Amino acid sequence: MNKFVVFQLESEQYAVPVSYVISIEKMAAPTVVPQMPDYVVGVVRIRGELVPVLDTRTLLYGRPFEETDKTRLVVTATEDISVAFIVDEAKEILDIPEESVKQVNMLAYRQTPYFIGIASLPERLITLIDPNQLFENLEGAQAIKEHIHSQQ
């Protein structure tokens, strides 16, 4: 069994391995940082640490998030820094059995190496994401890291 944090984005469900998740926070008003890529809405301080806030909807769908009372930040650990992904709703923590996970086809995978599989469960499909890979593959990830390190 692998534990995942499941979240909603648009009409789809996604999940990240619980081992990456530091916390799930209510949406906070981020401080805007000039000269950052368009998917960075700013930075927030979480437990004393400066955390960039990424618009997951912009990353995956090419359009900005719309904040509701269910909007959450899924704060994850990447190799160098913590990163918060904005999600429409954090759903649950779920045990996903290994045998329910199908690998994504290789062509799509090369373009999106952060999709680690599709969990095929009764009643729903959940796309599994490696948040570290997602962040590391972003255009501008290095600039974000440098900014965070310079502010610590």
**pLDDT reported for residue 112:** 77
Does a structural domain hold residue 10?
Answer: yes
Does a structural domain hold residue 6?
Answer: yes
Domain count, the chain: 1
Does a structural domain hold residue 99?
Answer: yes
| pTM of the shown model | 0.92
Q: Which amino acid is at 24?
A: I
Q: Give me the mean pLDDT over the 109-125 stretch.
A: 84
Does a structural domain hold residue 7?
Answer: yes
Residues 117/129, Cβ–Cβ less than 8 Å: no
**pLDDT band (50, 70, 90) for residue 13:** very high
65: containing domain: 2-147
Does a structural domain hold residue 91?
Answer: yes
**pLDDT band (50, 70, 90) for residue 108:** low
Does a structural domain hold residue 152?
Answer: no
